[in-house]
Structure 1
Amino acid sequence: MRTYLFETDEFGLSDEGIHLLRSRFNYATIHFHQIDRLRIERAHLANHGFWLLMLGIASLLFSAFYTLVLYEVFTDDAPQHVYLEELLVPFLPLVFGLFVVRASFRKGW
């Protein structure tokens, strides 16, 4: 295994050039004389961040709507059956929605 001047999970730098890595093994090398320009910037990790955001918001809105429906069932004076599974219905979309909204905003190198 080779040591590099600088190394991450995706690439390593040496005197020869940039080495593209998979599981810390070199699968391709880009020599410095082949590089005209190099730009490293932070970007969104999700390819379709807008659609992920829309899915997350829709899930959160469904969770809020169903919570209001359950609230009305509990505050109504007429006796009704409420099953335990109905209490989980707003919780699971809430967790999923929060996860998806967070994933749509994540940035990385």
Structure 2
Amino acid sequence: MRESESKSISVLTRGIRIRVPTTLTVGSTANVTYLEYPLGIVPIGTEPTGFFGGGNRQTLPVKVVSVSNGISTIEITNKFSNFPDNQLMQKLDDGSFGTFNGVKAIYFKN
């Protein structure tokens, strides 16, 4: 029997990426807001108890990883995984951006 030196490999996987239809500076950082059951997603009164106006609010750090043709790609830089990858945000009436998946939403204000 032989003993050998143990080795380990660390792999850094990328976070969820979201596309924003505005030009941002590559390498800059910001925050997005994640909400479940925000206003307007389901009829008032049908959301779970305690979720009126949105619940499970999380502020998530993001980094701008690329810009192409006026669309910036931002990447969530923590271990958040409650949203599909590569969603395109829409510009909202208040000038912010949002993307939606069922009862979940992510908002970005530039």
TM-score, structure 1 normalization: 0.22
Give 1 or 2: higher strand fraction.
2
Give 1 or 2: higher helix fraction.
1
TM-score, structure 2 normalization: 0.22
Task: Name which structure has the greater RCO, CA cutoff 8 Å, separation 6+.
Answer: 2
